[in-house]
Amino acid sequence: MTNLLTRLAVVAAGLPIVLGAAWQGGWFLLVVALLAALVALHELYRMARSLRPLVLAGYGGAAGALLGAQLGDSAWMLGGFLVAFPLAFLFAAVSETRQSTTVAIGTTVLGAAWIGLGLAHLVLLRRLPDGVDAIFAVLLTVFATDTLAFVGGRLAGRHRMTPVMSPGKTWEGFVVGALGGVATAFLVLYETEYGGATSLVFGITVVLAATIGDLFESLVKRDLGTKDTGRILLGHGGVLDRIDSLLFAGPAGLYVLLALT
């Protein structure tokens, strides 16, 4: 119960900022996304410090992706992200480390792509013609899915979903979270141009992507021998622990809407 109350307290403090940035869009959203990206990257690179990631190159790639998404389109986003490669090669060439250069650069680029491109897709999502509804749908669907899966798992969880990657997740929690997430997407998009069947496809896709994103982060943490990415958000762990679902759900939501409308 204490863990749940801590989670709710952090949500009460942080959710208005996130939703406010989504509502306002523009440079305010970019700044919030950039801060989240830099903190999440710091957490990832700290966990992977034995792999000697080239931190500044990763920051540059993530920032480039976000700035490109704000200034242009997906091509600009990709171009901004690709800054990570020359920066990584530059820093690798001048650094002194016993770690494999391939491993160091690979870890660096993984972080910039996973976190930078993931959040940059939210910026692109907000810039759609009905972008406020679209980004709110992603954020609220992910929030409902995560929260209801946590509650459902605590109350009725019996069968482990992925004993190796994330022992705490159960199939019962997943079903409760998925139903709640799809229902949330349908309600948020009901009276918009994305309503009807599109909202249901959107909801299902975002729920599945969010779940995969969560499991992907769990797999990375397990590989790096870490339980939480940080303590900055108390019971929520680190920033990366909170945005892991969004990093997959944002791109999935954007491309579903582009494909179906």
C-beta atoms surrounding 230 within 10 Å: 20
Rounded CA-CA distance 124/126 in Å is: 5
What local confidence, expressed as pLDDT, does residue 5 receive?
64
pTM here is: 0.91
Q: What span, in angstroms and rounded, lies between the C-alpha atoms of 93 and 90?
A: 5
| Percent residues over pLDDT 90 in the chain | 67
Extract the tokens encoding 186: 């349908």
> 184-220: per-residue pLDDT in tens?
999 999 988 898 999 999 999 999 999 999 999 999 9
Q: What is the DSSP string of the chain?
A: -HHHHHHHHHHHHHHHHHHHHHHH-HHHHHHHHHHHHHHHHHHHHHHTGGG---HHHHHHHHHHHHHHHHHS-HHHHHHHHTTHHHHHHHHHHH---SS-HHHHHHHHHHHIIIIIIHHHHHHHHHTSTTHHHHHHHHHHHHHHHHHHHHHHHHHH--SEEETTTEEEEEHHHHHHHHHHHHHHHHHHHTTSTT-THHHHHHHHHHHHHHHHHHHHHHHHHHHHT-S-S-STTGGG-SHHHHHHHHHHHHHHHHHHHHHH-
Per-residue model confidence as pLDDT tens digits over 25-50: 999 999 999 999 999 999 999 999 99
Q: For residue 160, what are the β-bridge partners?
A: 170
- pLDDT at 150 (0 to 100): 80
Mean pLDDT for the stretch of residues 207-234: 85
Round the average pLDDT of the chain to a whole number and report it: 89
pLDDT on residue 225: 86
| CA-based max dimension of the chain | 58
80-100, pLDDT tens digit by residue?
A: 999 999 999 999 888 777 778
Residue whose C-alpha is closest to residue 40's, from 145, 154, 116: 116
